[in-house]
Structure 1
Amino acid sequence: MPHATAATRSSGHRPRWWTELPLIAVVYGLYSAGRLLVRGDVSTAVDHGLAILDLEKALHLNAEHPLNRLLTANPALGIPADFAYASLHYLVTPAVLIWMFRRRSAAYRAARTWLMTSTLLGLIGFTLMPTCPPRLLDARYGFVDTMAQYSAHGWWGAGASAPRGLSGMTNQYAAMPSLHVGWALWCGVLLWRHGRHPLIRAAGIAYPLITVLVVMGTANHYFLDAVAGAAVMAAGALLTRPVIRMADRVKSRLRAVLAPVPVPVTAKKSTIVSGGCKTSAGERIPGQRTSSADSSGAATGSAAEAASDDAPAAAR
């Protein structure tokens, strides 16, 4: 995970929830809309799915078939796996994000940027390589859609993990990369790195591993989809610092453009009561103290005036 201290220092303050919520909502909205808009040709998506399956068989990595048969034959495993696939992706990730915001604020900004950057990279993957998941391949390839098989036990329909009647609102050919695995890996790294209790750190290890088994056993992803999801998260981690630096530069430029123009400073008004005006000798402002030197000067002036008045009288 990217180092968070430098990112926090560069931000200057802890992120505020009233700015974080709209930002996360906008990014997720753009991701969801983009995921729907990049639906590729079905035949192309099927070709990509079969190519991945053939590559896995050549590399002896085809773990999807035995896991899918296990969940199909055992409802006690298949139903919880379907619930996990349909819900944990949307529950655990926000919970970890909120936990980071409240308890690990120094690392929150880097964690949030890492998640968002990786999610947008995943959208690029959906665009470049639309892929049919195993559950939508022809039945002769040996996969059973457990979401459809156990749909009576959950809120999802037979078409997808979306709620009944909303399967058309999802892009079912966005299997490569698996962001179920990618987001689970993000959660796992943060729980392991920042969790203090051993159970929290253990959950950080278990959650991504369980997610990998679930996405393959429910026939929603190939193993290589999971590998691609981990690769996308690694790329997002490497790009986190550059993205934060770029965001800081954009913010400073916007602040410079939107900053109010400073008003020229005029000459300061004098705070002296007299306003800088001089008083004549012997005249003072009421209530103003006079120094001893002023008093002696005033007395000397009065004596001189008396002498001048007496001189004409003596002459007379």
Structure 2
Amino acid sequence: MDSRTEPAEAEPEPAAAIRRPSPPSTAARPPLVRELLLVVGLFVVYKVGRQLADGHTAEAFRNANRVWDWERTLHLPGEGSVQGALLHSDTVVHLANTYYATVHFPATVAFLVWMYLRRPVHYVWARRVLAAVTAAALALHLTFPLAPPRLLAAAGLVDTGQVYGPTVYGAHPATDEMANQFAAMPSLHFGWALMVAIGLIAATRSRLRWLWLLHPLLTLVVIVGTANHYWLDAIVATALLGIALAVIRLPRGAGATEAHGLVAADEASDEADGAAGNSGGAGGAGEKESVPELVGARR
């Protein structure tokens, strides 16, 4: 007679004790208050800096003539060709002015909000790139004041904002207290729009994500056609963005991690629920089988 008994089986862990993994996208999200203060602070510094760059009227027009000559030397297409296409319809040119006045900043804010909520790792990367490009633009505004082509007599272009409306600028640039009209280079309208498109393409996996490039393309047509910027303003903005993207890299693997983070978390949660159910069933079966085993041992 063998008096030894089998070791007691470990009791299954209760389902409530099984921890469900949190979504990876939530874990990496930076504090909201800090981000709000940081973004608002950067915007205030930029606006104040633009105002400090104001008042260099003579230098701004000298630089405008230089830029106009450089574009002709480089055989860039005339800005007038784009404006001529817009001026065929009062409705089209009015829409272009509206786009210039209302889309630029709200679209960038919406982009940052979406990235913060859905792709936090991409958000940190995009915010750093935008801050770097904006800082570089501010430095150029301070050192290279530039009158836009709508104010340059040699360009022969129409100030579509003043003629057709709406406009964000005063009729007299030298006394405009709301905006610095001598900060044409680089074009942050185009630089920010291009970063929005690049950021969304990097952060999403849809086959249609390349259509986001229509935003900077339309922005380019608008800023040139309304005579608010030269081609070189957009080219310089692209170069600054390229440098920023080369220096500030998106963390490796961030795209795959965030794009499927919520799906992976849901699958892990379902597996945890299934494991809890199976553990409970296995525990009941073990108790039923232990009765005959103990009876046999006593015999």
TM, length-normalised to structure 2: 0.70
* Shift of residue 160, structure 1, vs aligned partner: 8.6
Which residue in the other structure is 1:190 paired with? Answer: 199
Q: Call closer, same or farther: CA 1:71–1:231 in 2, change over 3 Å.
A: same
- Tell me which residue corresponds to 1:150: 164
1:14 deviates by 2.3
Equivalent residue for 1:107?
122
- What pairs with 1:57-136 in structure 2 (closer than 5 Å)? 57-136=72-151
Q: How many residues of Structure 1 are paired with residues of Structure 2 in the alignment?
A: 224
**Amino acid of the residue matched to residue 193 of structure 2?**
A
Note if contact 1:148-1:160 (Cα within 8 Å) is conserved in structure 2.
Answer: no
Q: CA deviation at 1:74?
A: 1.8
Alpha carbons 1:147, 1:158 under 8 Å: kept:
no
> Structure 1 segments of 4 or more deviating over 4 A?
155-158
Quote how far apart the aligned CAs of 1:182 are. Answer: 0.4
CA contact (8 A) 2:169 2:178 kept: no
Could you list the runs of 5+ residues in structure 1 that have no partner in the other structure?
A: 1-8, 242-316
In structure 1, distance between residues paired with 2:172 and 2:201:
32
1:196 Cα offset (Å): 3.0
Cα gap change, 1:58 to 1:155, in 2 (>3 Å): closer
- Show CA shifts across 1:219-245 (max 9, x none): 00000000011111122223436xxxx
CA distance in 2, matches of 1:156, 1:80: 14
Q: RCO (CA 8 Å, sep 6+): is it higher in 1 or 2?
A: 2
Matched to 2:155, the amino acid is Y
- Structure 2 regions of 5+ residues with no counterpart? 1-23, 250-299
Which of structures 1 and 2 has the bigger CA Rg? 1
State the superposition RMSD in angstroms.
Answer: 2.4
Alpha-carbon distance in 2 for matches of 1:39, 1:232: 22
Is the 1:53–1:62 Cα contact (8 Å) retained in structure 2? no
For the 8 Å contact 1:149–1:158, the answer to whether it is kept is no
Deviations 1:252-297 (A, max 9, x none): xxxxxxxxxxxxxxxxxxxxxxxxxxxxxxxxxxxxxxxxxxxxxx
Q: 1:112 to 1:59 in 2, by over 3 A?
A: same
Confirm or deny: 8 A CA contact 1:195 1:201 kept in the other structure: no
Indicate the residue corresponding to 1:38 in structure 2. 53
Letter in 2 for 1:25: V
Identity %: 35
Cα distance in 2 for residues equivalent to 1:240 and 1:13: 18
* 1:233 equivalent in structure 2: 241
Residue 230 of structure 2 is matched in structure 1 by 222
Q: In terms of mean alpha carbon deviation, does 141-150 or 166-175 score higher?
A: 166-175
Aligned residue for 1:73, secondary structure, equals coil
Measured in 2, the distance between the counterparts of 1:44 and 1:117 equals 26
Q: Where do residues 155-194 of structure 1 align in structure 2 (5 Å cutoff)?
A: 156=168, 159=171, 167-194=176-203
Task: Give the AA of the match of 1:223.
Answer: W
* Distance in 2 between residues matched to 1:227 and 1:51, nearest whole Å: 16
Q: In structure 1, how many angstroms separate the alpha carbons of the residues matched to 2:56 and 2:35? A: 36
Q: CA deviation at 1:155?
A: 6.7
